[in-house]
């Protein structure tokens, strides 16, 4: 081991300084034991970042280990920059979802933009060319000025970044609920495609190989971003705005092209994004994976400003940077590729045989850790888990006895109010700001059940979607998490895709509270159950804890990013109706309760009751039934029945394509003894609304019975009709004019956002050119 | 018949143009790197969409100084066809190949959508295969696509038949509601006075494969093919 002495001018290591770095007493003792001495300021900074929740998963790792991660399709499971699955024809898909919640809460535009940038880099460092982005967003109610500001800023940030890099944003979800008022959730997912042979990992190998910093120069921005993301938000969070990084999508585009060229060139052995905790995390993780030592000389790192200390250089989260391990002797070849793209490359270190993680400043050693213990010695916590009394009480509420409002006498009033709920309404206001067609692969873009992108060089396509109903998870964590997985699976299946694998982003509150840790452990158990039943392994993801502020925690929100495979382009299926006289068939049961429903939240302002039960085996059967019907050529449209229940699903099939409204006649009179609101708005799971030509009815029924799924005829498509007509019983028929449904569905968000001062306030934000 | 597609740093629709030409048109295409001064004998130059140099100073303002632009201007002067799409249109205006300018959308926001266009002049080398008064559905994706020029220029463009595409509704009426970016007189695309440089904000290269939607851009490429084959 080398002699490591404090650098002149470094602050003294005091208990206060240690606490400021987020280390508790036990963690600090571990650090001293590991080193056999007091750490230097630089070493304390390194450990503060690596042992932050964001980098170390110290509260979640044991739980995550229970998830299924294997399957014949999996080429790369968790632990790398992104998961990779085989999709046939020698092609592979890399995909991952990641959170950028805390930065977006204090600086929505840059927070969201850099979230998009980070997840893009995670995918192209695997050797895959990004072909699509998705976003899962949660904000407070749009009645709140702050929620409108965050929503407008995040959407613009996502759009400006993705549009400039030239990767289409094709799907996602946006939910508005008071639970996210102070802690918005901004989760970004990226999907990329490569040949299986082009897969590369971030494992440092080859003693003597040079370590090269590539891309943008290192500045003082984003220092300690990882630690910031690992604490509750508070009044003081605004003061941590400088910890939010600044994105430059133009440099990202150059870095993307240069990195893919580097990977294909054969001059490098490993590449990793300098993301959270920057150079520190990327170099330590690459060394740990390769079981080698590394030495880094911070004085060789290209910097933006003079006088940066080793501490700052190591912890900077300046964007658009990569760390590369090249083959020895190929340094000039690497530099030539970067130069062609007007980017810099600097040799800053070396892979060494000595089992040590060493940082020097010129000839002086400023930090040194034995082996890879700075990664592996991080403590693991399994705190107490206990369900909150309040949740148990809420779940036990008898919601059927909640009195109807007088207006509900007219089901059309209720339906319009449901369709105009910002959570259900069309999100075109947001996705019209996203380029969704660049790279010319988008078969189904935003607004469908899931996005579908063709795979060039094959007759296949992939489908993708994110999903999670946080209200369900709040009321019933295990069941709610199962639903998140199954709904995502249903959504990709509705486009004709077989669910293949998932990535997840677990957004929770402070795990040190037993109620939160209970939610986390139950939700992970639920994800595992559903994934095992569906045969969709977890290939990676991200955990974001401490999504809480003095006013409380967010709903526990384990967002699922599902990938599906369509074997034949002829099977691609859309959600909207198109052919006159087609039969409308429900796969699944019409009846169910209202616990945890959008109806209760939207119409009554109540979050209570037991959410619908999710039986993963029934979900599998329903999906298998749907896919067999689609592959046999019987299905003209398919739409998942979820938020808002059957009435909302039917209305969406009728008016979601605003250029072509299509009516229908529906007959629900068989269930005349079920209360209307329960029949129309219950959110029972494992349900899909399909349309089939009359001639297919027999075949579809036979397939459904084979899968033990109930096929229930609901009515017929009426292309010429200007109404959605629903017969409730022999006395009552609801006639819903399509233009009124369309106005409710398509007009809701523009009516709030267009012309709002908060929305206008972000219009002049733009990516910073040079920092 | 060979298309040359210029790649500036930040171009991101160069690939789409390449695939449209090679896969859908069955013609030959090559990428032309912005730092070269050799057009490699191509017949048609495509200035593709994207964010050249990040569009940081002003869309297209830096790309016009790329070494290859001298050759593109020379090619245009000789009467060679130049198809300038989206960011390419912005670059062509900055480089003086086309009159007017493209400024921020009237609604201030980036707009991604499939819009209707009325084809106004079937007599150009880019539109000869379309039927008269054809209405096309073509994607747009831009933040700075509002076409502006002084009144004299606009009138001259209209009088000379240089306005090739105008935003319209599904029925072909050029209404204000159908104009997605506030372009003056609803202009979506124009040709140069000599007729060999077409600039347009919509993306015909994204509308050539029926799998992805209406293939109404296909005839634009076929028009070029027919012209050069003569």
Contacts of A229 (CB under 8 A, 6+ apart): A52, A53, A54, A99, A101, A102, A103, A276, A544, A546
d(C-alpha A527, C-alpha A165), whole Å? 33
Is residue B67 pLDDT above 50, yes or no?
yes
pLDDT confidence bin for A225, thresholds 50/70/90: low
pLDDT digits (tens, 9 = 90+) for A700-739: 999 999 999 999 999 999 999 999 999 999 899 999 999 9
Residue B161 zone, left/alpha/beta (φ > 0; ψ -120 to 50; rest) = left
| Mean pLDDT (chain A, rounded) | 94
The pLDDT of B152-160, averaged and rounded, is 98
Sign of CA pseudo-dihedral A304, A309, A313, A316: negative
Residue A536 above 70 pLDDT?
Answer: yes
Nearest CA in chain A to B214: A443
- Indicate the residue of B9, B54, B112 with minimum beta-carbon distance to A435: B112
Could you give the CA distance from residue A623 to residue A253 in angstroms, rounded to a whole number?
Answer: 38
User: Of B10, B108, B112, which has the smallest distance from its Cβ to A434's Cβ?
Assistant: B112
Q: Is some CB atom of chain A closer than 8 A to the CB atom of B209?
A: yes
From the CA of B184, how many Å to the nearest CA of chain A?
22
User: What's the rounded Cα separation, in Å, for the pair A650 and A431?
Assistant: 23
CB-nearest partner of B141 from A160, A437, A760: A437
Kindly name the residue from A54, A224, A634, A707 that is annotated as catalytic.
Answer: A54
Contacts of A439 in chain B (CB under 8 A): 12, 15-16
Straight-line distance from the first to the last Cα atom of chain B, in angstroms, rounded to the nearest whole number: 11
pLDDT band, very low/low/confident/very high, at A767 (cuts 50, 70, 90): very low
A730 a catalytic residue:
no
Closest CB from A164, A432, A437 relative to B111: A432
The tokens describing B166, both together, are: 């105008």
The CA–CA distances, whole Å, from A467 to A70, A505, A642, A650, A689 equal 22, 10, 11, 20, 18
> Closest Cα to residue A525, out of A472, A479, A467?
A479
The CA distance from A412 to A202, in Å, is 56
**Mutation site for B-interface testing, chosen from A151, A166, A455 by largest number of B Cβ within 10 Å:** A166
pLDDT digits 0-9 by tens, A601-616: 999 999 999 999 999 9
Tens of pLDDT, residues A555-594 = 999 999 999 999 999 999 999 999 999 999 999 999 999 9
Radius of gyration of chain A (CA): 26
- pLDDT for A527 beyond 70: yes
Q: What is the DSSP letter of A52?
A: S
- Say if residues B196 and B76 touch (Cβ distance below 8 Å): yes
φ and ψ at residue A469, rounded to 5 degrees? -105, 100
Q: What is the dihedral of CA B201, B202, B208, B214, to 10 degrees?
A: -170
A236 pLDDT above the threshold of 90: no
Question: Helices marked H in A632-734 — which ranges?
Answer: 645-655, 676-681, 697-706
- CA–CA separation, B146 and A398 (whole Å): 56
Pick the residue of A437, A452, A571 with the most B CBs within 10 A to test the interface with B by mutation.
A437
pLDDT at A765 over 90: no
Contact status, residue A284 vs residue A50, Cβ threshold 8 Å: yes
pLDDT band at A98 (very low <50, low <70, confident <90, very high): very high
How many beta-carbon pairs under 8 angstroms link A with B? 89
For the segment B53-67, the average pLDDT, to the nearest whole number, is 85
Query: In the prediction, which pLDDT does A770 show?
Result: 32
* Section A496-506 average pLDDT: 98
Which residues have C-beta within 8 Å of that of residue A401, sequence separation ≥ 6?
Answer: none
To the nearest whole Å, the CA of B24 is away from the closest chain A CA by: 12
| Contact between B211 and A454 using a beta-carbon 8 Å cutoff | yes
Residues of B tagged active-site: 86, 203, 205
Around Cβ A711, how many Cβ atoms within 10 Å?
Answer: 21
What pLDDT does B227 receive? Answer: 82
Q: Give the tens place of pLDDT for each residue, B7-19.
A: 999 999 999 999 9
- Asked if the model's pLDDT at residue A14 lies above 50, the reply is yes
Do the beta carbons of residue A323 and residue A274 sit within 8 Å?
A: yes
CA B136 to chain centroid, in Å, comes to 14
Q: Are B130 and B229 in contact (CB under 8 A)?
A: no
Shortest CA gap A454–chain B (Å): 9
Q: Which pLDDT value is given to residue A771? A: 29
Please indicate whether, in this complex, the C-beta atoms of A440 and B16 are within 8 angstroms of each other: yes
**Number of alpha carbons in the 13 Å side-chain half-sphere of residue A242:** 6
On chain A, the residues whose CB falls within 8 A of the CB of B111 are 432-433
How far is A640 from A646, CA to CA, in rounded Å? 9
Interchain contact B135–A (C-beta under 8 A)? no
Q: Which of B87, B52, B117, B45 is nearest to B201 (CA)?
A: B87
Best of B36, B51, B135, B202 to disrupt the A interface (most A CBs within 10 Å) is B51
Cα dihedral A572, A645, A593, A390, rounded to 10, equals 100
- A31-35, A417-421, A466-470, A522-526: range with lowest mean pLDDT: A31-35
Residue A563 β-bridge partners: A464, A501
The beta-carbon neighbor of B19 closest among A159, A163, A440 is A440
Q: Give pLDDT, residue B61.
A: 85
Average pLDDT over residues B138-154: 97
- Residue in chain A nearest B206 by alpha carbon: A440
pLDDT interval class at A239 (50, 70, 90)? low
Tell me the two tokens of residue A385.
């888990």
Provide the whole-model pTM: 0.96
Do A242 and A351 contact (CB within 8 A), yes or no?
Answer: no
Chain B residues whose CB is inside 8 A of the A437 CB are 112, 139, 141, 203, 206, 212
Per-residue model confidence as pLDDT tens digits over A195-220: 999 999 888 899 999 999 999 999 88
CA dist., res. A405 & res. A399, Å (int): 14
Which residues touch A143 (CB under 8 Å, ≥6 apart)?
none
Return d(Cα A327, Cα A401) in angstroms, integer.
70
β-strands A637-640, A548-549: how paired?
Answer: unpaired
Q: Do B143 and A163 touch (CB under 8 A)?
A: yes
Q: What is the pLDDT of residue A769?
A: 35
Cβ atoms of A315 and A283 within 8 Å: the answer is no
What is the percent of chain B with per-residue pLDDT over 90, rounded to a whole number?
A: 92
Weakest-pLDDT range from A456-460, A485-489, A634-638, A767-771: A767-771
Cα A153 to the chain's mean position, in Å? 18
Contact assessment for residue A581 and residue A696, using Cβ atoms and an 8 Å cutoff:
no
Q: What is the pLDDT of residue A438?
A: 98
DSSP B24: I
Bridge partner residues of A172 (DSSP): A135
Spatial strand order in the sheet of A637-640:
A637-640, A688-692, A583-587, A711-718, A663-667, A723-727, A733-737
Q: Contact at 8 Å (CB) between B221 and B28?
A: no
């Amino acid at each position: 081991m080398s002699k490591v002495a404090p650098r002149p001018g470094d602050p003294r290591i005091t208990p206060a300084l240690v606490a400021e770095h987020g280390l508790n007493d036990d963690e600090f003792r571990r650090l001293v034991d590991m080193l056999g001495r007091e750490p230097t300021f630089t070493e304390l900074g390194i450990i503060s970042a690596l042992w932050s929740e964001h980098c170390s998963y110290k509260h979640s790792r044991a739980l995550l280990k229970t998830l299924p991660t294997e399957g014949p399709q999996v080429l790369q499971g968790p632990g790398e920059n992104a998961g990779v699955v085989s999709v046939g024809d020698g092609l592979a898909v890399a995909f991952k979802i990641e959170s950028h919640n805390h930065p977006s809460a204090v600086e929505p535009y840059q927070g969201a933009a850099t979230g998009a940038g980070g997840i893009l880099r995670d995918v192209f460092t695997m050797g895959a060319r990004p072909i699509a982005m998705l976003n899962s967003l949660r904000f407070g109610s749009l009645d709140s000025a702050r929620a409108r500001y965050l929503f407008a800023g995040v959407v613009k940030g996502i759009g400006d970044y993705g549009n400039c890099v030239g990767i289409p944003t094709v799907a996602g979800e946006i939910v508005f609920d008071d639970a996210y008022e102070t802690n918005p959730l901004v989760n970004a997912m990226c999907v990329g495609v490569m040949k299986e042979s082009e897969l590369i990992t971030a494992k440092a190998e080859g003693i003597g190989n040079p370590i090269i910093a590539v891309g943008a120069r290192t500045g003082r921005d984003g220092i300690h971003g990882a630690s910031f993301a690992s604490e509750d938000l508070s009044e003081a969070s605004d003061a941590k705005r400088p910890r939010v990084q600044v994105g430059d999508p133009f440099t990202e585009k150059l870095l993307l092209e240069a990195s893919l060229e580097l990977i294909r060139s054969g001059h490098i052995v490993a590449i990793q994004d300098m993301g959270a905790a920057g150079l520190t995390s990327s170099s330590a993780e690459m060394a740990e994976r390769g079981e080698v030592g590394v030495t880094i000389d911070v004085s060789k790192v290209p910097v933006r400003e003079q006088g940066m200390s080793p501490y700052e250089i190591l912890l900077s989260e300046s964007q658009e940077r990569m760390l590369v391990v090249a083959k020895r002797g190929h340094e000039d070849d690497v530099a030539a590729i970067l130069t062609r793209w007007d980017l810099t490359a600097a040799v800053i270190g070396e892979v060494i045989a000595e089992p040590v993680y060493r940082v020097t400043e010129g000839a002086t050693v400023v930090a040194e850790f034995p082996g890879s213990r700075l990664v592996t010695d991080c403590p693991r916590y399994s705190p107490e888990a206990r369900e909150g009394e309040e949740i148990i009480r809420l779940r036990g509420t008898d919601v059927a006895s909640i009195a109807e409002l007088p207006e509900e006498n007219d089901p059309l009033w209720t339906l319009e109010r449901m369709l105009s709920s910002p959570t259900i309404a069309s999100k075109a206001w947001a996705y019209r700001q996203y380029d969704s067609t660049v790279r010319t692969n988008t078969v189904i873009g935003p607004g469908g059940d899931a996005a579908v992108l063709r795979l060039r060089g094959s007759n296949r396509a992939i489908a993708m979607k994110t999903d999670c109903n946080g209200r369900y998870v709040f009321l019933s964590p295990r069941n709610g998490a199962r639903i998140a997985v199954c709904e995502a699976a249903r959504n990709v299946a509705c486009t004709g895709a077989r669910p293949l694998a998932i990535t997840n982003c677990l957004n929770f509150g402070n795990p040190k509270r037993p109620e939160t840790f209970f939610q986390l452990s139950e939700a992970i158990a639920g994800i595992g159950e559903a994934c095992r039943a569906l045969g969709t392994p977890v290939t990676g993801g991200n955990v974001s804890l401490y999504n809480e502020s003095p006013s409380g925690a967010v709903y526990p929100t384990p967002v699922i990013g599902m990938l599906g495979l369509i074997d034949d382009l002829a099977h691609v299926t859309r959600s909207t109706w198109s052919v006159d006289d087609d039969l409308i068939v429900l796969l699944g049961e019409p009846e169910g309760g209202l616990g945890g429903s959008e109806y209760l939240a939207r119409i009554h302002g109540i979050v209570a009751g037991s959410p619908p039960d999710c039986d993963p085996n029934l979900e599998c059967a329903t999906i298998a039934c749907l896919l067999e019907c689609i592959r046999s050529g019987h299905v003209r449209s398919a739409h998942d029945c979820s938020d808002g229940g059957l009435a909302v699903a039917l209305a969406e099939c009728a008016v979601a394509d605003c250029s072509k409204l299509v009516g229908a006649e529906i007959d629900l009179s068989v269930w005349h003894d079920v209360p209307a609101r329960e029949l129309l708005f219950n959110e029972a799971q494992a349900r899909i609304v399909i349309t089939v030509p009359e001639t297919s009815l027999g075949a579809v029924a036979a397939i459904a019975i084979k899968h033990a799924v109930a096929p229930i005829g609901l009515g017929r498509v009426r292309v010429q009709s200007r109404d959605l007509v629903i017969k409730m019983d022999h006395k009552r028929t609801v006639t819903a004019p399509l233009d009124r449904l369309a106005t409710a569905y398509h007009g809701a968000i523009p009516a709030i956002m267009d012309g709002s001062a908060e929305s206008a306030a972000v219009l002049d934000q733009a990516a910073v050119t040079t920092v | 018949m060979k298309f040359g597609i210029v790649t500036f740093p930040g171009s991101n629709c160069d690939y789409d143009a390449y695939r449209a030409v090679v896969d859908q048109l069955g013609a030959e295409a090559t990428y032309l790197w912005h730092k070269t001064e050799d057009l490699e004998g191509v017949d048609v130059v495509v200035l593709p969409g994207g964010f050249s140099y990040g569009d940081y100073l002003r869309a297209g303002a830096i790309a016009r100084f790329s070494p290859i632009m001298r050759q593109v201007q020379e090619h245009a002067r000789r009467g060679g066809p130049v198809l300038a799409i989206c960011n390419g249109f912005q670059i062509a205006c900055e480089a003086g190949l086309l009159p007017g300018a493209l400024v921020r959308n009237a609604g201030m926001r980036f707009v991604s959508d499939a819009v209707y266009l009325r084809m106004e002049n079937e007599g150009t080398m880019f539109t000869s295969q379309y039927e008269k008064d054809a209405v096309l559905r073509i994607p747009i994706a831009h933040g700075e696509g509002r076409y502006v020029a002084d009144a004299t220029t606009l009138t001259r463009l209209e009088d000379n038949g240089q306005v090739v595409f105008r935003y319209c509704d599904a029925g072909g009426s050029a209404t204000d509601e159908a104009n997605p970016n506030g372009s003056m007189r609803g202009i979506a695309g124009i040709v140069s006075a000599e007729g060999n440089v077409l600039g347009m904000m919509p993306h015909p290269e994204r509308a050539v494969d029926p799998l992805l939607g209406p293939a109404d851009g296909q005839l634009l490429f076929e028009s070029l093919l027919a012209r050069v084959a003569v």
